[in-house]
């Protein structure tokens, strides 16, 4: 897998806060363009762009966690010249943690992990989605609000569902189904964000605290599972405020 194609710059570069953003299942970098009207001028936003989606739709999606996380970690390490934050939504949060584990001993430090709309890896959730039939997957997409009802037609499904199955396989590999050991815990702060209407809100809110030896904070925002894209200003405000507490640039969300 080409590591130089795994990153797509959404805004920047700047010398301010650097954020690597991991999209949810069956989604790509374009989703984070919804943040642009609210982006503080000093925020550099770089989205993870894995095969099978958007301009990489002709490439087969990756369903194996180890090579995917290894390659993303290498791409981030080569790009970052200063401390940075990983933001992940849903499946992107669990994959983001796996990448953070690989990056924690690199020379340019990871400052913080932000996990939105996701339970921590000790929560197994529905591990059958990677093997589910088309209608079950389409139902999950509608429930999560990732794809509007009128877009899930046969042609779109032919493109989206193989990507979703691969993403679900990666998420299943990320989920350990047990409490963390000392080796599993990060040594950086973890910030959890959930929508108050997300069916998993309480689990999302509480479960990440055990996965870090540093600070943990949890925030509830009005909205559903896709709250980072329903309430981008509120989510960005939390992100930049928590980064500022760690000594990062103090930015103002527009």
The per-residue pLDDT for range 109-145, each reduced to its tens digit, is: 889 999 999 999 999 877 777 777 887 877 777 776 6
Q: CA dist 188 to 36, 51, 191, 212, 216, Å?
A: 27, 29, 10, 7, 9
Q: What is the CATH number of the domain that holds 189?
A: 3.40.50.1820
User: Going edge to edge, which strands form the sheet with 43-48?
Assistant: 7-11, 43-48, 17-22, 84-89, 110-116, 190-195, 216-221
Domain count along the chain: 1
Which range in 10-14, 93-97, 144-148 is most confidently predicted, on average pLDDT? 93-97
Judged by average pLDDT, the poorest of 40-49, 147-156, 187-196 is 147-156
Whether 1 has a pLDDT exceeding 60, the answer reads: no
Q: CA dist 25 to 162, 183, 254, Å?
A: 11, 27, 28
Whether 66 has a pLDDT exceeding 70, the answer reads: yes
The pLDDT value given to residue 204: 84
The pLDDT value given to residue 109: 80
**Residue 220 falls inside a structural domain:** yes
**Residue 251 falls inside a structural domain:** no
Whether 18 has a pLDDT exceeding 60, the answer reads: yes
Per-residue model confidence as pLDDT tens digits over 149-178: 554 566 667 778 889 899 999 999 999 999
Taking CA 205 as the corner, what is the angle to CA 199 and CA 211, rounded to the nearest 5 degrees?
125
**Residue 2 falls inside a structural domain:** no
Residue 116 sits in which domain range? 7-246
Confidence of residue 197 (pLDDT cuts 50, 70, 90): very high
Q: What is the DSSP letter of 212?
A: B
The pLDDT value given to residue 128: 74
| 176: its two tokens | 């350990």
């Amino acid at each position: 897998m080409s590591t130089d194609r795994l990153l797509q710059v959404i805004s920047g570069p700047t010398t301010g806060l650097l954020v690597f953003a991991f999209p949810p299942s069956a989604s790509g970098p374009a989703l984070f363009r919804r943040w642009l009207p609210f982006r503080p001028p000093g925020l550099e936003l770089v989205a993870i762009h894995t095969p099978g989606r958007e301009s990489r739709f002709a490439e087969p999606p990756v369903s194996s966690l180890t090579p995917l996380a290894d390659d993303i970690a290498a791409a981030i390490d080569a790009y970052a010249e200063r401390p940075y934050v990983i933001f992940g939504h849903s499946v992107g949060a669990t994959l983001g943690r796996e990448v953070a584990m690989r990056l924690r001993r690199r020379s340019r430090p990871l400052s913080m992990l932000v996990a939105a709309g996701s339970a921590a890896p000790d929560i197994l959730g529905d591990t059958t989605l990677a093997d589910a039939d088309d209608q079950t997957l389409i139902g999950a997409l509608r429930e999560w609000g990732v794809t509007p009802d009128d877009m899930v037609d046969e042609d779109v499904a032919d493109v989206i569902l193989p990507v979703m199955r691969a993403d679900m396989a990666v998420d299943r590999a990320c989920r350990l189904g047990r409490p963390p050991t000392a080796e599993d815990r990060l040594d950086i702060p973890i910030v959890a964000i959930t929508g108050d209407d997300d069916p998993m809100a309480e689990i999302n809110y509480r479960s990440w605290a055990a996965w870090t030896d540093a600070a943990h904070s949890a925030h509830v925002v009005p909205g559903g599972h896709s709250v980072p894209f329903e309430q981008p200003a509120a989510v960005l405000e939390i992100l930049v405020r928590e980064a500022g507490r760690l000594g990062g640039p103090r930015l103002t969300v527009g």
